[in-house]
Amino acid sequence: MALTFYWYPKCGTCRKAKKWLEEQNVEINEVHIVENPPSKEEIKDLYKRSGLELKKFFNTSGQKYRQLGLKDKIKEASEDELLELLAQDGMLIKRPITTDGKQVTVGFKEDEFKQAWGS
pLDDT digits (tens, 9 = 90+) for 53-112: 999 999 999 999 999 999 989 999 999 999 999 999 999 999 999 999 999 999 999 999
Backbone torsion region of residue 32, taken as left when φ is above 0, otherwise alpha when ψ lies between -120 and 50, otherwise beta = beta
Q: What is the pLDDT of residue 119?
A: 67
| pLDDT above 80 for 21 | yes
* Fold exhibited by the domain 3-117: Glutaredoxin (3.40.30)
Which phi and psi (to 5°) does residue 61 adopt?
A: -95, 0
First to last CA, the chain: 13
Task: List, for residues 79-91, the tens digit of each pLDDT value.
Answer: 999 999 999 999 9
Domain-wise residue ranges, the chain: 3-117
Cβ distance 20 to 30 under 8 Å? no
Query: With bands split at pLDDT 50, 70 and 90, how would you rate the model's confidence at 1?
Result: confident
Task: List, for residues 29-49, the tens digit of each pLDDT value.
Answer: 999 999 999 999 999 999 999
- Of 2-11, 15-24, 33-42, 68-77, the one with minimum mean pLDDT is 68-77
- Amino acid sitting at position 67: Q
Neighbours of 55 (CB within 10 A): 14
Q: Give the separation between CA 72 and CA 70, rounded to whole angstroms.
A: 5
Q: In terms of Cα–Cα distance, which of 14, 46, 53, 13 is closest to 30?
A: 14
Partners of residue 4 on adjacent β-strands: 29, 99
* Mean pLDDT on 6-34: 97
